[in-house]
Every structure is written in C-alpha cells, then in structure tokens.
Amino acid sequence: MLAELIELKTNKSESGSLTFFEGTRDIDFDIKRIYFTYDVPKGQKRGAHAHKNLSQILFCPHGQITVVVNDGFNSQTFVLDNPSKGLIIKSGIWRDIYFDKENSVLCVGASNYYDEDDYIRNYDEFIKYVESGYWK
Ligand code: T46
C-alpha cells in the first residue's frame, strides 16, 4: 500500500459539520507538528519529495487537492475533494501534490518536527534509496 485513504469521523448537525481525528487513537502515530499550505495558485504543483522517516496525514478542509504517490515502482493517485477524507503517507513514498482549485487548503499532521535532513528532494536520489533497501 503506497498510502491509505481514511474517512475521518464527522459530526453533522443543522448548525454545520465538525470533522476530527486524534493522534495515536485514530491514526497509528502521534502528531508533533501541524502545518497548512494555502494561497497556492490553481494548478500549481508542490511536494516532489519523499521523507526518510516521517508519517503524515493530509487533509483538505477547503477546495480540492490531488496527491500522486510513488514508491519507486508503482504510483497511485488520490483526490482530496471532501474535508472528511484523510490521506496517510508513511516514509519512503515520493509525493507530488496538485492544487486543483483556487483557494484550496492543504493541512498536514506530521509525526515529527521539521527537519530538512529528512527530505529527499531529488528523484534520482530517491530511487537510489529505494534500490539500497533503506525502507525494507
Ligand atoms: C509534505 C507536503 C505535503 C518549514 O520551515 N517548516 C515546516 O514545517 C515545513 C513543512 C516547511 N518548512 C519550509 C521548508 C521550505 O523552505 O517551508 C518551505 C516550503 O516547504 P516545501 O517546499 O517542502 O513545501 P511543500 O508544500 O512542497 O511540501 C510540504 C512539506 O514540506 C512536506 O513534508 O509532505 O507539504
């Protein structure tokens, strides 16, 4: 499995909807960092990297975002078009992220603090990590 799409618990009432999840309880890691990406032009691509050791849950509370994940052999596409969809991406997965609509917002809960050394931003380097069995 390259990534896992989950349905987040949602409380719906006449006064609106409330979607939630809890680290360790609803996903199998705790969250040390939250960040969000916005003001991204429609059609813009972001991401284009993998993480050596990081679990993340991505969700899109507004707009639509397409995430293409790749383990060096296969790729899979996920569309975050509803605030109740959560996409879990673990270590060793290359991700390309496309902002499909104007004013889309991407929120991420990450298992660790920001560390630039955890990023693999070059695809050839990513393939070398895969071939070395780094994530096996
Ligand atoms: C990911 C996707 C979904 C920080 O200083 N702290 C942070 O917590 C983050 C996430 C980023 N930064 C800095 C690093 C760069 O200088 O912000 C700049 C932009 O980051 P980046 O180009 O990595 O942004 P995206 O949107 O391509 O990727 C981000 C995350 O970095 C990444 O982990 O999986 O969102």
Q: Strand, helix or coil at 117? A: helix
Tell whether the model's pLDDT for residue 105 goes beyond 90: yes
Using a 6 Å cutoff on CB, does residue 56 contact ligand 1? Answer: yes
- The arithmetic mean of pLDDT across residues 37-58, rounded, is 98
Provide the token pair at 104.
């889309």
Centroid of ligand 1 to alpha carbon of 35 (angstroms): 8
Tell whether the model's pLDDT for residue 98 goes beyond 90: yes
Using a 6 Å cutoff on CB, does residue 37 contact ligand 1? Answer: yes
pLDDT at res. 31: 98
- The arithmetic mean of pLDDT across residues 101-108, rounded, is 98
- The arithmetic mean of pLDDT across residues 82-95, rounded, is 98
Centroid of ligand 1 to alpha carbon of 19 (angstroms): 24
Give the whole-angstrom CA distance, residue 10 versus residue 82. Answer: 11
Residue 11: phi, psi to the nearest 5? -105, 115
Using a 6 Å cutoff on CB, does residue 97 contact ligand 1? Answer: yes
Percent of the chain with pLDDT over 90: 99
Are the C-beta atoms of 60 and 129 separated by less than 8 Å? no
Using a 6 Å cutoff on CB, does residue 35 contact ligand 1? Answer: yes
Are the C-beta atoms of 63 and 103 separated by less than 8 Å? yes
pTM of the model: 0.97
Summarised one tens digit per residue, pLDDT across range 25-39 is 999 999 999 999 999
List the one residue out of 18, 46, 20 whose CA is nearest residue 31: 20
The H or E element spanning position 7 is: strand 4-7
Give the whole-angstrom CA distance, residue 136 versus residue 118. Answer: 17
Summarised one tens digit per residue, pLDDT across range 113-124 is 999 999 999 999
- For all residues of the chain together, what is the average pLDDT? 98
- The arithmetic mean of pLDDT across residues 84-109, rounded, is 98
Q: Which residues contact residue 85 at a Cβ distance below 8 angstroms, ignoring those fewer than 6 apart?
A: 5, 6, 7, 8, 59, 60
Centroid of ligand 1 to alpha carbon of 47 (angstroms): 8
